[in-house]
């Protein structure tokens, strides 16, 4: 299991980063939040999570901080939320904003994220409400 990768930023775009370390370039799918945190830097340390779409097709996701990776792990544990949907959610809202929306059962805010429908947003709230240990939570302003 890979926990993190620390190295030179070889390639970077809003959806993917390639981090080179010891002559190997690791391609990681990233959120816009992570992109903005490493943009313009020569080196980066990204925390890694692997998700298997199929047995023969692993996808690797990179996160600038542990908080974002932990939320990603929680999101993909919900039935109907895959790696692509979770990274899209983290690109739309910050990890603390998503945690706050879940804790306040703000289905409308979650539903406003592209690709997240009413039923999926409700399932996320039901499955994850109150499961925030050591995470900064920002409650949405009404």
- What average pLDDT score do residues 99-109 get? 91
pLDDT at 119 over 80: yes
Looking at domain 4-63, its CATH superfamily turns out to be: Nucleic acid-binding proteins (2.40.50.140)
pLDDT at 48 over 60: yes
pTM of the model: 0.86
Rg (CA), the chain: 15
Domain limits, CATH 1.10.150.20, in the chain:
66-128
pLDDT, tens only, 1-38: 789 999 999 999 999 999 999 999 999 999 999 999 99
CA angle 44-47-52, nearest 5°? 130
- What average pLDDT score do residues 47-69 get? 86
Would you state the pLDDT for residue 57? 77
Residues 115, 57: Cα–Cα separation, whole Å: 22
pLDDT at 107 over 90: yes
Q: Cβ contacts of residue 94 below 8 Å, gap of 6+?
A: 33, 138
Q: pLDDT band at residue 74, thresholds of 50, 70 and 90?
A: very high
Domain limits, CATH 2.40.50.140, in the chain:
4-63
Topology of the domain comprising 66-128: DNA polymerase; domain 1 (1.10.150)
Would you state the pLDDT for residue 142? 44
């Amino acid at each position: 299991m890979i926990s993190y990768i620390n190295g030179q930023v070889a390639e970077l775009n809003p959806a993917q980063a390639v981090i080179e370390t010891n002559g190997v370039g690791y391609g990681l799918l990233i959120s816009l939040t992570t992109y903005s945190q490493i943009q313009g830097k020569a080196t980066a340390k990204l925390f890694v999570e692997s998700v298997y779409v199929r047995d023969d097709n692993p996808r690797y996701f990179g996160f600038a901080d542990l908080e974002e990776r932990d939320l990603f792990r929680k999101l993909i544990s919900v039935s109907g939320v895959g790696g692509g949907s979770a990274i899209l959610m983290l690109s739309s809202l910050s990890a603390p904003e998503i945690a706050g929306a879940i804790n306040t059962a703000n289905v409308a805010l979650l539903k406003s994220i592209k690709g997240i429908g009413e039923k999926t947003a409700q399932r996320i709230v039901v499955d994850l409400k109150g499961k925030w240990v050591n995470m900064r939570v920002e409650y949405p302003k009404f």
